[in-house]
Structure 1
Amino acid sequence: MLIIGELINTSRKLIREAVEKKDGNYIQEIAKKQEEAGATYIDVNCGTFMQTEVETMEWLVENILQATDLPLCIDSPNPLALEAGLKKVKNGKPMINSITGEDERWNTILPLVKKFNSKIIALCIDNTGMPKTQEDRLRIADSLITKLTGEGIALDDIYIDPLIKPISAGQNNGIEVLSAIQKIMESYPGVHTTCGLSNISYSLPARKVLNRLFMVQTMARGMDSYIMDPTNKEMRGALLASQTLLGQDRFSRKFIKAFREGLYE
């Protein structure tokens, strides 16, 4: 299970304030907390600083690397900011968030994937737009996987994001994604799937409950990576318990260890 810690994102008020004040200690603290909570990658996103994104990305990466040896997921729609961050990465195999099947995005991001030998999150979007059905997701995922592997990218480095839409906007939006995840993972042994979870609950009450339960449902369909807050005890607890029930925790060791450390009440 690959967990991409999502907290270093300047859309978050405290992170934005830390960047504005150049408070590197706070950024390092958040990076350490995510590592301690079980993150395997640290996501770095400063897209709200559009005018200074390149410089801000460099500053963030430099500070994060002082606090953790975890590899980084460089997250931006701006290829210049992506490259700036990737050039600073020293820990492990980097990840890029993200590429799509859209011509412009594909042509600007693919060279970076190759240049830095990175893992890549591939969103199920193409020139026709966002997917509406399971069939749309499967068609786009098939195209992305075929094109990426054709360019020499290993299946193990590809993370397909099926794009979650709010259940409030369509009662089948959850099951469409679940069905797509299962089909993708069955059709391409070795490929990975990932997502952020919060879209599923948009505009509904008790969002954390819906996010947590949807994570468990996606795990049962084969999803093996999440962009999430690993410091959230309820989410982490649900993830570890689900891994145990799905046979992904040998002798339940991780679950027992987490219980002994007080994760479960």
Structure 2
Amino acid sequence: MLVVGELINSSRKAIARAVAERDKEYIQDLARKQVEAGAHIIDVNCGTSIGEEDKVMTWLVNIVQEVVDVPLCIDSPSAEALAAGLAAHKGQAMINSITAEKQRWEEVLPLVQKYKAKVIALCMDDGGMPESVDDRLRVAGRLVPGLVEAGIPEEDIYLDPLIKPLGVNSQYGVEALESVAALKEKYPKVHTICGLSNVSYGLPERRLLNRAFMVMCLTRGMDAFILDPLDMPLMGLLKAATALAGQDEYCLEYIAAARAGKIKA
């Protein structure tokens, strides 16, 4: 189970302020805390740095990699910012993200190939957001073969079915769960991933919904999440659900996390 720590994102006010003030210590401390809490990859996003995103991305990658030895997920809608972050990164990075949209595909695929990065592939094309399970399968039917043909190993591909807010349509949760199951059945060697908090947007007590949705996704085959690793109940549920799903041999990871005080009832 792969955990991508989501907290270094300038859409969050505290991060936007830290980036603007070049508060290196604050960002580094947050990176350390996420890894200590169980994140395997740290997402870095500075999309609000209009006009200087490539420079800020380079700075972020450098300062975060000074203090943690896990890979980073270079996260931006800008191909220039992705390129800057990847150039500064040590080792295999993750890219967030590529889509089947013509322009995005042409901009990002060469970066995936050049840096041999893991890549999050959103199930979206020039027709916009997917409206059904079939939509996602149709787009994945272009993304996966296209990436494989370009030399990207299946195990480095992370399909994101695009989770939509439950508050907009009460069936979006079911639609997402069915999409995960269908994608895993069709592409068993490819990973699935999602931004967990998207499902709860606009609703009260969001963390409760995120936690429940995570467990439900895991039972359908989701094997990676972009989430807040400092949410201890969330991480505890992830460890417990992974063990119950038969993905933690002899419950060793669950036991180790409990003994280390990283999870609690």
TM range (shorter): over 0.9
Deviations 1:116-172 (A, max 9, x none): 111110001101111011111111112111111111111001000000111121121
Number of the residue aligned with 2:16: 16
Instruction: Give the unaligned 5+ runs of structure 2.
Output: none
Which amino acid in structure 2 is aligned with residue 231 of structure 1?
L
Helix, strand or coil for the counterpart of 2:119?
strand
Cα distance in 2 for residues equivalent to 1:97 and 1:261 = 31
Cα distance in 2 for residues equivalent to 1:139 and 1:39 = 31
User: Given that residues 3 and 226 in structure 1 are in contact (C-alpha distance below 8 angstroms), is that contact kept between their aligned partners in structure 2?
Assistant: yes
Give % identity.
51
User: How far is the alpha carbon of 1:246 from its aligned partner?
Assistant: 0.3
What's the TM-score once normalised by structure 2's chain length?
0.97
User: Given that residues 5 and 228 in structure 1 are in contact (C-alpha distance below 8 angstroms), is that contact kept between their aligned partners in structure 2?
Assistant: yes
User: How far is the alpha carbon of 1:242 from its aligned partner?
Assistant: 0.3
| Aligned residues between the structures | 264
Cα distance in 1 for residues equivalent to 2:71 and 2:195 = 19
Cα distance in 1 for residues equivalent to 2:3 and 2:136 = 23
Cα distance in 1 for residues equivalent to 2:259 and 2:109 = 45
Cα distance in 2 for residues equivalent to 1:67 and 1:188 = 36
Deviations 1:155-191 (A, max 9, x none): 0010000001111211211111111111111111210
Q: Does 1:59 align with 2:69?
A: no
Which amino acid in structure 2 is aligned with residue 67 of structure 1?
V
Helix, strand or coil for the counterpart of 1:16?
helix
Number of the residue aligned with 1:160: 159
Number of the residue aligned with 1:129: 128
Cα distance in 1 for residues equivalent to 2:206 and 2:8 = 21
Extract structure 1 runs of 4+ deviating beyond 6 A. none
Cα distance in 2 for residues equivalent to 1:114 and 1:261 = 39
User: How far is the alpha carbon of 1:261 from its aligned partner?
Assistant: 3.1
What's the TM-score once normalised by structure 1's chain length?
0.97
User: How far is the alpha carbon of 1:193 from its aligned partner?
Assistant: 0.5
Instruction: Give the unaligned 5+ runs of structure 1.
Output: none
User: How far is the alpha carbon of 1:26 from its aligned partner?
Assistant: 1.2
Number of the residue aligned with 1:218: 217
Number of the residue aligned with 1:46: 46
User: How far is the alpha carbon of 1:260 from its aligned partner?
Assistant: 2.7
Helix, strand or coil for the counterpart of 2:120?
strand
